[in-house]
Amino acid sequence: MKGMYHYLRLAWKKVDVTYDSPQWHRLIEWRRGDAIVRVDKPLRPDRARALGYKAKQGFILVRARVRKGGRRKERPNKGRKPSKMGVKKITPKKSIQRIAEERVARKYPNMEVLNSYWVGKDGKYHYYEVILVDRSHPAILNDSQINWIVHDRGRAFRGKTSAGKKGRGLRNKGKGAEKARPSVRANKS
């Protein structure tokens, strides 16, 4: 007998975005709304709980919208045509998810980004739900499982979230990953 979260996880493996489906309506609503919106409860409770979310005071969820694709660069149109024009295929070193986390962290300076997870995409945007923790809330300060975050300032900007660690190559260990730790810059010769 499998639990509810197992089936929730399966449902999010391949999201139904066909015409008139709940996700189809959601994406239309999100596209019309603001880029960063606070939400009451997680759309994916299984994922949120796995990443450290608790339905208690001091935790909030924010949905962030970030544009898809690489960097937008204007085509130079003065004088000669440069051989190294560099308009397309200019991509950031950070993932779109990390960009979403950083934008949310800037919008809520008194909170700390714990983690984030994907909730949808359409033709133009990616959508993520970001878990934020209030550093100064008594419920957080008294919770021994999460009060470490009080001293871990600027997590999103230092690549300390799950998406940040992935982008820094910290999912690999052992042979071939010797120069990934403690950071790539710390191992420059």
Does residue 94 sit within a domain? yes
Does residue 176 sit within a domain? no
Residues pairing with 127 in the sheet: 65, 120
What's the predicted TM-score (pTM) here?
0.92
- Domain hosting residue 48, numbered range: 4-152
For tokens 């940040």, the residue is 164
Does residue 162 sit within a domain? no
Looking up residue 119, the CATH number of its domain turns out to be: 3.40.1120.10
Does residue 165 sit within a domain? no
First to last CA, the chain: 54
Does residue 88 sit within a domain? yes
How many domains are there within the chain? 1
The predicted structure's pLDDT at residue 40:
97
Mean pLDDT by 10 residues, the chain (189 residues): 94 95 97 97 96 97 96 88 88 95 98 98 97 97 96 96 96 92 87
